[in-house]
Amino acid sequence: MSIHISAKPGEIAKIVLLPGDPLRAKYIVDTYLQDAKLVSSTRNIYFYTGTYKGVQVSIGASGMGCPSIGIYSYELYTEYEVDCIIRIGTCGAYTSDLKLFDLINIEVAASESTYAKYAWGIEGNAIAHQGKAFDIIKSTAAENALQLNCCAIHCSDIFYRSTTNIPAVAVQHNCLAVEMEAFALFANAKYLGKTAAALLTVSDIIPTHEKISADQREQALLPMMDLALEAAFKLAER
């Protein structure tokens, strides 16, 4: 049991899928997992453990932003001996070259956040995915004829801004989209020698103001959930 997760030792699997929203975590569990058990509900952040194709997987929520996923991923890695975390979530595209519902496998997360520097002394404003999960996601997408964009993204602490200009760090690293969690996840994994990847669905096109409606979101995210779970299955085999 950790400060923010009340699961007992052994109740969290070695591979964890981490959406931001607790209700999305429950939806994934109800849709995909067999023999699922709720193992933590502290702060209404639900964690479940069940099986997918016979492989044990845990699914929980990270909350929003680097500070929140920083806490949950660190405790999963250190208190529950998790080997791999795959963040699954949504992002806003900085370019109309991306379309609604496109999938992104994050190569590098670039950020103005000071999280990595002040938590772990990691310098620089960009951190790559960690370990083999990125490549397994990529190969799994190819095997299933899923189009997958592998690129840099901007990980921002800010959701609302006074300007529509793309931030300098995103321009520097040619970031095609923006989200709020991957930088801290990758920083924790790098410091701890763990595996981390992030798989995103484009939910908004910022230049054109297109967005997925609330009614579309659950069905729209199914390809991402399928891909993440198939990748988790392959990770467990290796």
For the chain, what is the domain count? 1
Cβ atoms of 86 and 181 closer than 8 Å = no
- Per-residue confidence at 2, pLDDT binned at 50, 70, 90? confident
Q: What is the pTM of this model?
A: 0.95
Q: What is the CATH number of the domain that holds 199?
A: 3.40.50.1580
Share of the chain above pLDDT 90, in %: 88
Sign, CA torsion 23/28/31/36: negative
Residue 154 lies in a domain: yes
What pLDDT does residue 166 have?
Answer: 93
Residue 238, pLDDT > 90, answer no
Helix axes of 66-79 and 182-192: crossing angle, nearest 10 degrees: 30
Q: For residue range 135-178, what is the model confidence (pLDDT) as tens digits?
A: 999 999 999 999 999 999 999 999 888 878 899 999 999 999 99
Residue 4 lies in a domain: no
Residue 127 lies in a domain: yes
Q: What residue numbers bound the domain in which 203 lies?
A: 15-237
What pLDDT does residue 150 have?
Answer: 97
Residue 37 lies in a domain: yes
Residue 1 lies in a domain: no
What pLDDT does residue 27 have?
Answer: 92
Give backbone dihedrals phi and psi of 95, rounded to 5 degrees, phi first: -135, 145
- Of the listed 102, 204, 215, 226, which one is catalytic? 204
Residue 66 lies in a domain: yes
- Per-residue confidence at 214, pLDDT binned at 50, 70, 90? confident
What pLDDT does residue 122 have?
Answer: 97
Structure tokens at 84: 């791999």
What pLDDT does residue 220 have?
Answer: 80
Residue 237, pLDDT > 80, answer no
Q: For residue range 45-79, what is the model confidence (pLDDT) as tens digits?
A: 999 999 999 999 999 999 999 999 999 999 999 99
Q: For residue range 18-30, what is the model confidence (pLDDT) as tens digits?
A: 999 999 999 999 9
204 is an active site residue: yes
Residue 1, pLDDT > 90, answer no
Beta strands (DSSP E) in 1-110 are 15-18, 34-40, 47-52, 55-59, 84-93, 103-110
